[in-house]
Structure formats: C-alpha cells, structure tokens
C-alpha cells in the first residue's frame, strides 16, 4: 500500500503532509534537525511530490516547527511555520485537521504558502482551546469550533 501511495498518488498531489515519523518511514532517514528536514524533502521530491510540508510536532523543543518545501525550477523554496508548543494531550486529529484546513484555504484561492500559514493558525487555536477538555484516557480531540463558539 505504501508503494502504491508513493508511486501513484504523490506525483499527482499538489502537496504531501507527512509528520516526522511518516517522513522517516518514507525516506529511510532519521529526522532531528532542519538539515534532516531538507534532506527528507529532497528525497520526497524524487518520488514526484511537487510540494512537501513536513510537520514538526514530533520534534523536541519549545516550538512546533513545520517546514514547507516547494520546488521552484532548480531551486527549493523553504518556508517555516513555527508556534509555541502547547502542553496538552488533546492532539488527536491534528494532522487531518491541518491538511483539511490547507485544502479548504486552497479552495478559497489562497496561494500555498498562505494556505499553510492560515491552517497552522487554525490548528494552533483548536489545540489551545481544546487543551482544557478531558475526554477519556488517551489523546483527546481538538476544539474545532473554538472560533465560532462564544463561551
């Protein structure tokens, strides 16, 4: 299944959005630094991916830093989207929410860099607002309605 995804879906996708563990599995390299992120993106470009957003929530540090890599002719444009790490277990669904938000902003005619920026802000708000909730014993959900509910 992984081979099918890489061979058939990556080349026709506008953007792929692996997190660190997914990017490590796809590339076969360990990712701990910005240089590792860039190297992983270059390997992913070799699969036919046009644009690569590696989500950095699994990296250690005070910030959650995502890096968007866009092929621009023979060059690679790199954009960094960082935010303070939020101390919460309520992170279930962040990746799906992020990629869906990016797709929504693209559908509203945002350029890719802006779509990622706005989606990152939305996910950050949903994590922050959902941090106070206690649901079950594992990773809880985000509050997807943080920006429309008045409490």
Catalytic residue among 47, 48, 95, 125: 95
- Catalytic-residue membership of 55: yes
In a domain, residue 146? The reply is no
In a domain, residue 141? The reply is no
In a domain, residue 101? The reply is yes
Strand segments (E) across 88-151: none
What are the pLDDT digits (tens) for 33-87? 999 999 999 999 999 999 999 998 888 888 889 999 998 888 899 999 999 988 8
Q: Which of 77, 80, 32, 25 is nearest to 47 (CA)?
A: 25
Our CA angle for 102, 82, 119, nearest 5°, is 15
pTM: 0.91
In a domain, residue 140? The reply is no
In a domain, residue 136? The reply is no
In 28-76, where does DSSP find H-type helix? 34-45
What are the pLDDT digits (tens) for 110-139? 999 999 999 999 999 999 988 877 777 778
Domains contained in the chain, number:
1
| C-beta separation of 75 from 115 below 8 A | no
- Catalytic-residue membership of 70: no
Q: Where residue 42 sits, what CATH number does that domain have?
A: 3.40.1190.20
Catalytic residue among 25, 33, 78, 96: 96
- Catalytic-residue membership of 110: no
| C-beta separation of 80 from 66 below 8 A | yes
Catalytic residue among 17, 65, 70, 91: 91
- Catalytic-residue membership of 138: no
- Measured in degrees and rounded to the nearest 5, phi and psi for residue 19 equal -85, 180
**Residue 28 belongs to domain spanning:** 2-130
In a domain, residue 105? The reply is yes
């Amino acid at each position: 299944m992984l081979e099918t995804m890489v061979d058939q879906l990556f080349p026709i996708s506008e953007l792929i959005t692996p997190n660190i563990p997914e990017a490590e599995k796809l590339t076969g390299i360990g990712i701990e630094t910005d240089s590792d992120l860039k190297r992983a993106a270059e390997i992913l470009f070799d699969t036919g991916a046009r644009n690569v957003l590696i989500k950095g929530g699994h990296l250690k540090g005070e910030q959650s830093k995502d890096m968007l890599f866009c092929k621009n002719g023979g060059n690679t444009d790199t954009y960094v989207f960082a935010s303070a790490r939020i101390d919460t277990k309520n992170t279930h669904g962040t990746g799906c929410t992020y990629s869906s938000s990016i797709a929504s902003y693209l559908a509203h005619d945002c350029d890719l860099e802006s779509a990622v920026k706005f989606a990152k802000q939305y996910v950050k708000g949903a994590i922050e607002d959902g941090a106070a909730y206690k649901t079950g014993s594992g990773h809880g959900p985000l509050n997807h309605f943080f920006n429309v509910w008045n409490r």
